[in-house]
Amino acid sequence: MEIHYSHENLQIADPFVTIGIFDGVHTGHMAIINRLVSYSRECRGESVVITFDPHPKLVLGDVGEGISYLSTMDEKKALLAAAGTGHLVIMEFTREFSRVSAGEFVNDVLAAKLGTRHLVIGHDHHFGYRGAGNYSTVREYAARAGIAVEQIEGIVSDGAVISSSRIRSALASGRLNDANRWLGYSYSLRGTVVRGRKIGRKLGFPTANIKPSDRYKLIPANGVYAVEIRIEGMQLTGMLSIGTNPTVSRDQGTRSVEVNIFDFDRDIYGSELEIVFRYRMRDEVKFSGRDELARQMRKDMDNALKLLGQA
């Protein structure tokens, strides 16, 4: 996959294009990407995905404390490349750009700059100033510019269309199985190992405290998870706790992410790793004391080993 950081001076023959944020590049997005890639190959054209960076909400001030996303730009690149995308165009999203109308974008970018032959969009796609460009208006603008437009129906699961917001809600409420099913892969989180209070070591379960690499990457609901860990070329297994450590911590307002890596005893402070969320085992619970917590952690380890196929 070729990556372009501007839409200026691109030399792409017969571009077949789709546009979007593609947060998570989930199964709904993949219906669009797969159609784009297969049809462009069938017609001997080239598949082009246009996305934006930074996230529009970060630019437009619609941030607040609750903004989060499923995939960083690096993760999007990897997922789109694996899907067979030919070209990824990453356009800088600015306040000035946010005022470009859908008609201007079709005419000035898709037609004039890219020479788009075919445009594929999702079932509820909106773009342009204030999201005024929907399928009907975009098809009208595109027809004038000689661009064919195709709309892909949403993928329905459990009575509703799969969407990034629905997946974020599932992760935030502890429904990891639903989130992973709708994503089409297991959710992951990258971070750096930092020093903690070493309470886990005193309980017989040394943990690595993780500082997420991206402040806006969604951290799933508090609880205990069976996970895989990718670090320094190794793929390991473990159990991970997200929460405020109510049994041993007085600071109940600060969330932490801690992983106990099975059969592993190395100094990895400062190392980068990736946590892959396979199963959510239980909620975070306040126990009567450290002894009861340690007993539960032994049960958690046994359960994780079984779930991960290691028992």
The strand pairing partners of 36, in sequence order, are none
Question: Mean pLDDT throughout 178-203?
Answer: 88
Residue ranges per structural domain of the chain? 2-161, 187-307
Lowest-pLDDT range of 26-35, 57-66, 192-201, 238-247: 57-66
Percent of all residues in the chain with a pLDDT value above 70, rounded to a whole number: 92
Q: Are 257 and 212 in contact (CB under 8 A)?
A: yes
Among 66, 63, 244, smallest CA distance to 168 is for 66
Alpha helices (H) in 252-289, listed in sequence order: none
pTM: 0.93
Q: What's the confidence (pLDDT) of residue 7? A: 87
Average pLDDT, the chain: 91
Give the C-alpha distances (Å, rounded to integers) separating 26 from 168, 185, 202, 298. Answer: 11, 8, 40, 35
Q: Are 161 and 123 in contact (CB under 8 A)?
A: yes
What length does the chain have?
Answer: 311
CATH assignment, 2-161: 3.40.50.620
Architecture in CATH of 187-307: Beta Barrel (2.40)
Q: What's the confidence (pLDDT) of residue 195? A: 83
| End-to-end CA separation in angstroms for the chain | 40
Express the helix, strand and coil content of the chain in percent, nearest 5 each: 30, 30, 40
Per-residue pLDDT of 92-146, as tens digits, reads 999 998 899 888 999 999 999 999 999 999 887 766 656 666 778 888 889 999 9
DSSP string, 73-130: HHHHHHHHHHTT-SEEEEEEP-HHHHT--HHHIIIIIIIIIT--SEEEE-TT--BSGG
Confidence of residue 67 (pLDDT cuts 50, 70, 90): confident
Percent of all residues in the chain with a pLDDT value above 90, rounded to a whole number: 72
212 preceded by a cis bond (ω within 30 of 0)? no
Confidence of residue 56 (pLDDT cuts 50, 70, 90): confident
Residue 237 has pLDDT above 90, yes or no: yes
Task: Give the containing element (helix H, strand E) for 292.
Answer: helix 290-307
Lowest-pLDDT range of 1-5, 86-90, 183-187, 199-203: 199-203
Ranges of beta strands (E only) in 232-306 are: 234-243, 256-261, 272-282
Per-residue pLDDT of 286-311, as tens digits, reads 988 888 998 999 999 999 999 999 86
Confidence of residue 9 (pLDDT cuts 50, 70, 90): confident
150 contacts: CB under 8 Å, gap ≥ 6: 35, 39, 118, 119, 120, 121
